[in-house]
């Protein structure tokens, strides 16, 4: 039986040979671990970490780029908006200017029309006055002749009287004319 052999052995006092065998076996594993396994695994871990970090970096770069593009678009949009506003303002100003020009033109036109009308009116009036003066003279002479009952055509004083009367009439007309002109100017 093995038991009898075991009686001479103490399980906690191992033979030196076994200890050395154990040392060698563990030494081999240690060597393999240090020489091959750990460096290769570290390499893989590093590569993996770099891949992940590289991905993150790439994503960050992309995000920055997108942000930049957005800023650019916004700036462009703002620029376009301000430009549009400027154009609008300019157009409005131009319109105003044109309108102003037109108004001035229209006023000038109307003023000119009014002036011409007044001129015509004055001419027509003068004509009427001249005509009337002749007629009134003749009429007045006829009337006076009829009233007196005889022709005073040859009378020297006659012409003087008529002329005086006409001058008087003229003075009256001139005063009336001035009043009319003043009334027009106030309008």
Task: Examine residue 32 and tell whether it contacts other proteins (CB under 8 A).
Answer: yes
Say how many CA atoms lie within 13 Å of 83 toward its Cβ. 6
- Region from 33-41, 82-90, 160-168, 169-177 binding other proteins, contact rule CB under 8 A: 33-41
Tokens describing residue 89? 């303002």
DSSP 53: H
DSSP string for 127-142: HHHHHHHHHHHHHHHH
CB 159 within 8 A of CB 152: no
CB 145 within 8 A of CB 152: yes
Tokens describing residue 172? 């009256």
Q: Position of tokens 């300019």?
A: 90
Q: How many residues does the chain have?
A: 187
The binding track of 38-57 with respect to other proteins, each residue x by CB under 8 A or -, is x-xx-xxx-xx--x------
Task: Examine residue 29 and tell whether it contacts other proteins (CB under 8 A).
Answer: yes
Task: Examine residue 87 and tell whether it contacts other proteins (CB under 8 A).
Answer: no
Task: Examine residue 69 and tell whether it contacts other proteins (CB under 8 A).
Answer: no
Smaller CB distance to other proteins: residue 15 or 185? Answer: 15
Distance in Å, CB of 17 to other proteins, minimum: 4
Taking the C-alpha atoms of residue 159 and residue 141, their distance in angstroms, rounded to an integer, is: 10
- Region from 2-10, 70-78, 91-99, 168-176 binding other proteins, contact rule CB under 8 A: 2-10
Smaller CB distance to other proteins: residue 24 or 153? Answer: 24
Taking the C-alpha atoms of residue 132 and residue 118, their distance in angstroms, rounded to an integer, is: 20
- Region from 10-18, 76-84, 97-105, 164-172 binding other proteins, contact rule CB under 8 A: 10-18
Task: Examine residue 17 and tell whether it contacts other proteins (CB under 8 A).
Answer: yes
DSSP 36: I
- Pick from 14, 54, 55, 134 the residue near other proteins by CB under 8 A: 14
Task: Examine residue 25 and tell whether it contacts other proteins (CB under 8 A).
Answer: yes
Contact positions vs other proteins (CB under 8 A): 1-7, 9-23, 25-26, 28-30, 32-34, 36-38, 40-41, 43-45, 47-48, 51
């Amino acid at each position: 039986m093995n038991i009898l052999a075991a009686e001479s052995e103490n399980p906690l006092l191992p033979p030196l040979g076994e200890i050395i065998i154990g040392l060698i076996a563990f030494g081999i594993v240690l060597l393999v671990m240090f020489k091959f396994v750990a460096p290769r695994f570290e390499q893989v871990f590093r590569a993996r970490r770099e891949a992940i970090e590289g991905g993150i970096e790439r994503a960050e770069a992309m995000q920055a780029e997108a942000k930049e593009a957005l800023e650019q678009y916004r700036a462009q949009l703002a620029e376009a908006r301000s430009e549009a506003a400027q154009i609008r303002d300019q157009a409005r100003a131009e319109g105003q200017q044109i309108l102003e020009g037109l108004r001035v033109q229209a006023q000038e036109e109307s003023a000119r029309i009014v002036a011409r009308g007044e001129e015509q009116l004055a001419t027509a009036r003068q004509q009427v006055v001249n005509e009337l003066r002749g007629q009134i003279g003749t009429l007045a002479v006829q009337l006076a002749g009829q009233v007196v009952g005889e022709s005073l055509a040859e009378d020297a004083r006659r012409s003087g009287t008529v002329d005086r009367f006409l001058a008087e009439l003229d003075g009256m007309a001139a005063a009336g004319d001035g009043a009319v002109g003043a009334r027009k100017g106030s309008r």
